[in-house]
Amino acid sequence: MPDRDGSGPHRVTAPVDDTLDDRPRSPSDGPLRALVRIRRAPPLSPSAPAGEQCELCTVPITDEHDHLVDVESRSLMCSCRGCYLLFTPNGAGGNRFRAVPDRYVSFDDFTLSPAQWDSLQIPVSVAFFFRNSSLDRVAAFYPSPAGATESLLDLEAWDEVVAANPVLASMVPDVEALLIRTSRGGGPECHLVPIDICYELVGLIRNAWKGFDGGQDAGDQLDDFFARVHARSEPAGAVAT
């Protein structure tokens, strides 16, 4: 998987501390102690196949794997299924790492006027929004040839969007995002998606971008990406929040 900016493999910026077992115990560090013991255990096979590994316990994983968000460093981490489940809402993993869910929801009746879009200060037609729990605010990013670029979000304008679309209150902080694509010829296309998909889009656009406006290839990549998201999404009315 690409980094948040689509530039290459991502790695843990704050690895599990192997000295944790030597410190006084506290109720909150039990899951991390378990991960330390997993990492210290000998490998199951000395000839494990090369490829991606879980960035917590180093178990080999396939190309199709889960992701975690490190809330402190704002980074995505590749995860095996076991570590992923540890950090789901029903898991025991605490608050630093959060499992990225697999929920895709489409909003066919999403309310967003051209004036509201302009007030969000997004200079292009595509952006994604998510709540940063560390800063306790909504962040807005859009894909660009430089990667994921943050836009200074007018919080009053965002509050107006939420008031017109109360379903946004169900968006899980840090791991889910509202992905919006506007069109001059019609209403916006809006989806609630896992945050890692947004950074996949950033990588696609960055790699395909040519010239001043991105070029035909970037436009085709964008069309194909939204077609795949739409195919995976359930209508908002059919999903329990």
Residue with tokens 């836009």: 151
Pairing of strands 186-194, 105-106: antiparallel
Among 215, 199, 210, 185, which residue's Cα sits nearest to residue 225?
199
pLDDT reading at 190 higher than 50: yes
Mean pLDDT is lowest, of 144-153, 178-187, 229-238, for 178-187
**Is the model more confident about 233 or about 32?**
233
pLDDT reading at 192 higher than 70: yes
pLDDT reading at 40 higher than 50: no
pLDDT reading at 37 higher than 60: no
Radius of gyration for the chain, computed over Cα atoms and rounded to the nearest angstrom:
19
Mean pLDDT taken over the chain: 77
Count the neighbouring beta carbons within 10 Å of the beta carbon of residue 204.
19
Count the neighbouring beta carbons within 10 Å of the beta carbon of residue 185.
4
Among 206, 224, 227, which residue's Cα sits nearest to residue 147?
206
Nearest-angstrom CA–CA distance, 33 and 26: 10
Q: What is the pLDDT of residue 12?
A: 36
Nearest-angstrom CA–CA distance, 41 and 181: 47
pTM recorded for the entire structure:
0.72
Average confidence (pLDDT) over 108-113: 84
Nearest-angstrom CA–CA distance, 177 and 174: 8
The answer to whether residues 85 and 91 touch, using CB atoms and an 8 Å cutoff, is yes
Q: What is the pLDDT of residue 13?
A: 37
pLDDT digits (tens, 9 = 90+) for 215-234: 788 888 899 999 999 999 99
Nearest-angstrom CA–CA distance, 157 and 73: 27
Q: How many residues does the chain have?
A: 241
Spell out a b/e string for 74-105, using b for 16 or more CB atoms within 10 Å of the CB, else e: ebbbbbbeebbebbeeeeebeebbbbbbebbb
Neighbouring-strand partners of residue 141? 128, 150
